[in-house]
């Protein structure tokens, strides 16, 4: 069920009122209503998908007790490996079977064997990439003794099936989520208002900016040979804003809905296009995924410690896994590899782990050095998005080859002035409020007439655009 539909609105109103009216004095009722809401929401896609989610969740729930109750670390590890096998096995089967099969067939033919293999028509369960990592964080954290396994099945299932995050994240860790639902949530007016504003901003980014940008981007990508290099360059830039507004828009809605339920989850984006380096970009883009990879992959490999060669190895492993996680295409693997290459200069200069605050802190504008770094980082990221957006490696090579041809210096086919104005509005709004969790947090310091005028203007604009454009969230593919 898409967040931006009348069905979801009616579902959420019913769930929200039940949650706060029936569960206002008892967190057991709150959690039961939340769980029912989670299951109803996910069942809208497919009862088969729901069965897969519940089956793997129940297995993890009981394996966590096996991990906890065995002081023998080798035996506890067996239960942990069972959880990894179940979750990663399901992910590989549903997401990667048809990707690896042709490669395996080609390998067998190369060594003189003939295999009767057949590609299956397998539907990808919605959100499996996200909830797989979320559930694995629970069993791994139990094994590492970061969290005690919960005895309450409803509590665990609320975590494993949480409807605001189940389809496209953010990827929550049990150490953050479960303590919040183990206690009674009391209605917080300020948190709810902030959540509603974050939802409004997220819907605006998705419907008004991302979906409008998609019209131009889709047209250019479907006719690569017919366009000049300058047009392809411009489309690549606009796609950068499309994917940002699409995915961060979803995340804003997810975080906002959670706030309405009295639950705080990871804010998945922190103005990434104002980053001054690739490492800073990855601390601000898809924060929950990179945090997961840092905690459960990068640090166990040795993290940023040891020789530079080991740090480089660990970085490549993390980003190639990130690419594979995104999709079963070589374009995603190449995209992950490219981002690891981008990080090499920072690793060699030992400045890849430095904490960073936002650009031009306490200033209106960046200095020349910061501006150059922001623009160059954005262009590097944009080049990477060409691989991400392309349907194949061949298509990506065609795109970049044509983009860097002499036609790069010809006049481009321009998008509508509307999308340009919308992107300018986005950049200015986010730059001014880059110290805030989201741009609409600034509204509270203005008078009531300005605040409500701003809200209603956004709502009217969203309604106008909803009648013309309605695309699924990009990350539903993953």
Catalytic status, residue 326: yes
Cis peptide before 173 (omega within 30 of 0): no
Q: How far apart, in whole angstroms, are the C-alpha atoms of residue 321 and residue 174? A: 22
Q: Indicate which residue of 286, 326, 352, 438 is catalytic.
A: 326
DSSP 433: T
DSSP 1-62: --SSSHHHHHHHHHHHHHHHHHSTT-HHHHHHHHHHHHHHHHHTT-HHHHHHHHHHHHHHHH
Cα distances (angstroms) measured from residue 259 to each of 16, 180, 199: 11, 12, 10
Contacts of residue 220, defined as CB under 8 A and 6 or more positions apart, other chains included, come to 227, 231, 232, 235, 413
User: What tokens appear for 349 in the block?
Assistant: 């200069």
SS3 127: coil
Q: How far apart, in whole angstroms, are the C-alpha atoms of residue 412 and residue 417? A: 14
Contacts of residue 409, defined as CB under 8 A and 6 or more positions apart, other chains included, come to 229, 230
On whether the CB atoms of residues 426 and 205 are closer than 8 A, the answer is yes
Q: How far apart, in whole angstroms, are the C-alpha atoms of residue 399 and residue 385? A: 12
Contacts of residue 428, defined as CB under 8 A and 6 or more positions apart, other chains included, come to none
Q: Which parts of 349-416 fold into alpha helices (H)?
A: 368-389, 393-403
User: What tokens appear for 146 in the block?
Assistant: 């970061």
On whether the CB atoms of residues 229 and 407 are closer than 8 A, the answer is yes
Residues assigned a catalytic role = 326
């Amino acid at each position: 069920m898409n967040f931006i539909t009348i069905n979801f609105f009616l579902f959420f109103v019913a769930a929200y009122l039940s949650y706060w009216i029936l569960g206002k004095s008892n967190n057991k009722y709150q959690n039961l209503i939340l769980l029912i809401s989670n299951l109803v929401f996910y069942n809208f896609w497919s009862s088969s998908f729901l069965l897969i989610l519940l089956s793997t969740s129940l297995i993890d729930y009981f394996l966590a007790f096996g991990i906890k109750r065995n002081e023998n670390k080798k035996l506890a590890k067996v239960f942990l490996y069972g959880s990894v096998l179940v979750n990663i096995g399901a992910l590989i089967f549903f997401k990667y079977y048809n990707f690896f099969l042709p490669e395996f067939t080609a390998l067998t033919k190369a060594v003189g064997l003939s295999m009767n293999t057949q590609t299956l028509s397998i539907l990808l369960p919605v959100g499996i990439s996200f909830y797989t990592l979320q559930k694995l964080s629970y069993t791994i954290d139990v094994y590492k003794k970061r969290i005690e396994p919960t005895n309450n099945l409803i509590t665990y299932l609320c975590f494993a099936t949480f409807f605001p995050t189940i389809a496209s994240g953010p990827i929550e860790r049990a150490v953050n989520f479960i303590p919040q639902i183990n206690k009674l949530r009391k209605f917080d007016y300020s948190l709810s208002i902030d959540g509603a504003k974050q939802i409004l901003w997220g819907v605006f980014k998705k419907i008004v900016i991302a979906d409008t940008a998609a019209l131009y981007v889709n047209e250019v990508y479907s006719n690569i040979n017919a366009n000049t290099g300058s047009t392809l360059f411009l489309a690549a830039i606009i796609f950068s804003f499309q994917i940002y507004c699409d995915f961060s828009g979803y995340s804003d809605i997810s975080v906002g809905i959670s706030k309405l339920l009295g639950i705080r989850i990871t804010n998945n984006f922190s103005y990434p296009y104002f980053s001054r380096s690739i490492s800073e970009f990855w601390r601000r883009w898809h924060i929950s995924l990179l945090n997961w990879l840092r905690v459960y992959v990068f640090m166990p490999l040795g993290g940023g410690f040891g020789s530079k060669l080991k740090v480089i190895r660990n970085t490549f492993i993390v980003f190639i896994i990130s690419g594979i996680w995104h999709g079963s295409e070589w374009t995603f693997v190449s995209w992950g590899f490219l981002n690891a290459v981008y990080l090499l200069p920072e690793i060699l200069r030992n400045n890849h782990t430095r904490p960073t605050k936002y650009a031009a802190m306490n200033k209106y504008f960046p200095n020349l050095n910061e501006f150059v770094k922001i623009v160059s980082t954005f262009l590097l990221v944009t080049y990477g998005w060409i691989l991400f957006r392309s349907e194949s490696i061949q298509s990506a090579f065609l795109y970049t080859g044509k983009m860097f041809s002499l036609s790069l210096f010809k006049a481009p086919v321009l998008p509508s002035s509307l999308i340009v104005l919308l992107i300018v509005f986005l950049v200015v709004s986010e730059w001014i409020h880059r110290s805030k969790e989201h741009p609409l947090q600034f509204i509270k310091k203005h008078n009531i007439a300005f605040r409500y005028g701003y809200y209603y203007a956004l709502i009217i604009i969203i309604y106008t655009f909803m009648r013309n454009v309605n695309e699924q969230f990009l990350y539903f593919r993953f």
